[in-house]
């Protein structure tokens, strides 16, 4: 598991890559958002989802 913090808004990210059968990997991320940033939850959820999809796409291209 890897962890990263946002230097701008106190968001904390925990990324997890879990090997699955058939040479695949599950990517998950947990984000801690302080109360003062709660209004950004929906936008952050969308941005993280796009980032995970891009990461998976790139990994798939490099793994082929």
Domain definitions of the chain by residue range? 2-63
DSSP state of 22: T
What is the mean predicted confidence (pLDDT) over 19-32? 86
Provide the whole-model pTM: 0.64
Rounded-to-integer distance, Cα 56 and Cα 18, Å: 13
Closest CA to 28 of 15, 41, 37: 15
What is the mean predicted confidence (pLDDT) over 15-31? 86
Highest mean pLDDT out of 9-13, 42-46, 54-58: 42-46
Q: Is the pLDDT of residue 7 over 70?
A: no
Closest CA to 15 of 25, 29, 4: 29
């Amino acid at each position: 598991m890897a962890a990263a913090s946002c230097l701008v808004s106190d968001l904390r990210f925990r990324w997890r890559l879990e090997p699955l059968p058939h040479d695949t990997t599950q990517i998950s991320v947990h984000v801690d958002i302080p109360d003062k940033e709660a209004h950004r939850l929906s936008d952050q959820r969308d941005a993280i989802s796009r980032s995970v999809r891009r990461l998976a796409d790139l990994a798939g291209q490099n793994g082929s």
